[in-house]
Structure formats: C-alpha cells, structure tokens
Amino acid sequence: MTLSLNARKWIRAVVDYGGLVAWIAAYFLGGRNLVNASWALVAGSVLGLIIGLVFERRIAPVPLIAGAAGLVFGGLTLFFHDARFLKIKPTIMNLIYGLLLLGGLAMKKTPLKLLLGEAFPMTDTGWRILTLRYGLFFLALAGLNEVVWRTQPDSTWVIFRFPGLMILTVLFSMTQAPVMMKHAHQDTASGVDA
C-alpha cells in the first residue's frame, strides 16, 4: 500500500498523539474525570498501535513504548479507580529516559546517537553533550511533573501534560541547535556532486 507523504504524516500523528488527544478530549468533554477519561487513553493507545501496524507494517519503538505506558498506567488507573497512576506516568517515563541516557553516558555510550545518529551526523563530543543535556532535561521534567500534579488542580495538570510537556520539549530541543551545528560532521568526501 503506497501512501502519499501527507497521508503518512497524518498516520504518524495519530500513532504518536492519538491516545493523548483522545484522553484530553474525554477529560474536558466528559465531566473532567481523570479516571473515566482513562478509557479514552487506553482505547486511543491501542488504536494508535493498530493503525501504525496496519499502515506502516511495523510499530516504531517510541510509539510502542508510549502506547504500552498508556495501556499500563491507564489500566492501573481504571483497575484501582485512582488517577494518581495516570499522574505519575510522566514522572516515571521521564525518569526512565533520563536515567537511561545518563546511565549510557556513564558507561561511555551515547544512546541518543543510536536513536538519531543517521538523521543527525555529529561528532562523538556533540553526542555526549546532547546525551548529558537531554538526560538532565528528562530528570527536570520528571521533577516538574511531580510539582504540578501535587500542587495544581487536575485541569491545570492535564494542560501541562499535553501540550505543555511537548512544548517544553520542543523549546528545549530548539536551544540545542547551536550544539548540533557546532558538532555537525562536514562530510566533504561523500562523492556527491554539488
């Protein structure tokens, strides 16, 4: 099945954000009840994974992790009727990401290079800097999530969760552009005519 570039973008958006969008819509349109909105998160996560499998013939690792986390934490929220499981999901996921990046760095590895190396060719020094910065950033997001859900009303936390965390991540990523440009490979021997 050959899809246009535009169709592939829409499918990718549904796979990546379908569960979250369904959850937010269910929360704000369904009486602002986090436990009840978890049904939409679970259903949206499953649907996103199925759509990715059907149209892309694979499930990419990041949507798989996000979808599985949505299923686990959404399922725990529904089973125990306790929204705290949903609220700690960003904390736990960001802690895992941060610790994996920093742990890899401590073992002289650069996990970001494994994930993004083909898309962003950089020096090893650049990858180490980015890995450290993103590791610390994810730990900061975990702490920030704890502060927000424990001190703010649910509706504020829901907006913080999405799109707030995504906006913070995009802004942080934009601040890393100078490092990426400074450490980018200048492949002059590629053999491609200009």
| DSSP H helices in the chain | 5-29, 34-56, 61-80, 84-106, 111-116, 124-151, 154-159, 165-175, 177-182
Give tens-digit pLDDT for 89-124: 999 999 999 999 999 999 999 998 888 877 888 999
d(C-alpha 149, C-alpha 141), whole Å: 12
Phi, psi dihedral angles at 185 (to 5 degrees) = -70, 135
Question: Residue 189 CB: number of other CB atoms within 10 A?
Answer: 6
Q: Among residues 131, 117, 130, 137, which one has the least CA distance to residue 178?
A: 130
> If you average pLDDT over residues 166-194, what whole number do you get?
79
β-bridge mates for residue 122, sequence order: 184
Coil, helix or strand for 118? coil
- Each domain of the chain, given as residue ranges in start order, spans 1-82, 94-183
Give tens-digit pLDDT for 130-157: 999 999 999 999 999 999 999 999 999 9
Predicted local confidence at residue 51, as pLDDT: 86
Residue with tokens 């994930």: 115
Coil, helix or strand for 138? helix
> What does the radius of gyration of the chain's CA atoms come to, in whole angstroms?
19
Residue 1 has pLDDT above 90, yes or no: no
Do the beta carbons of residue 110 and residue 127 sit within 8 Å?
Answer: yes
Q: Vertex 139, ends 134 and 145: CA angle to 5°?
A: 120
For 148, the token pair is 């927000």
Q: Between these two residues, 9 and 2, which has the higher pLDDT value? A: 9
Q: Among residues 117, 146, 145, which one has the least CA distance to residue 131?
A: 117
Phi, psi dihedral angles at 63 (to 5 degrees) = -60, -35
> If you average pLDDT over residues 32-45, what whole number do you get?
92
